[in-house]
Amino acid sequence: MPDVLLQINPDINVPWNNLPLLPIGEELNQIIDIKEKLGDATAALARLHDRSIVIPNQGVLIITISLQEAKTSSAIENFFITNEELYRILSK
């Protein structure tokens, strides 16, 4: 296996200062295999679309997805919050 091009950071106390600059290099693109992930995401969205008909209030699902994205985005910036804290703040 080639050298690791993108280091995974398991320590939440260390910022992600060694992230590669955008756009990512071709060698990293091939290792991550973004096209395969895109296909998986498309299939998951199709399954969600099929099942969303039975959800009485689809707005709740949309808000939840937005909150999870914001939580993940904040973690990249070295700001961590639990799901419990996130929903407690939202319910106030």
29: which 2 tokens? 């693109």
The pLDDT value given to residue 36: 81
- What proportions of the chain, in percent to the nearest 5, are helix, strand and coil? 60, 0, 40
Classify residue 1: in a domain, yes or no: no
- Count the domains in the chain: 1
Q: Pick from 34, 15, 14: which is nearest to 24 by CA?
A: 34
Classify residue 9: in a domain, yes or no: no
Classify residue 13: in a domain, yes or no: no
User: What domain range is 39 assigned to?
Assistant: 26-91
Q: What is the C-alpha separation between 69 and 72, in angstroms, rounded?
A: 5
What would the pLDDT profile of 34-92 be if each residue is shown by its tens digit? 778 888 999 999 998 888 888 888 888 788 888 888 888 888 878 888 888 877 877 77
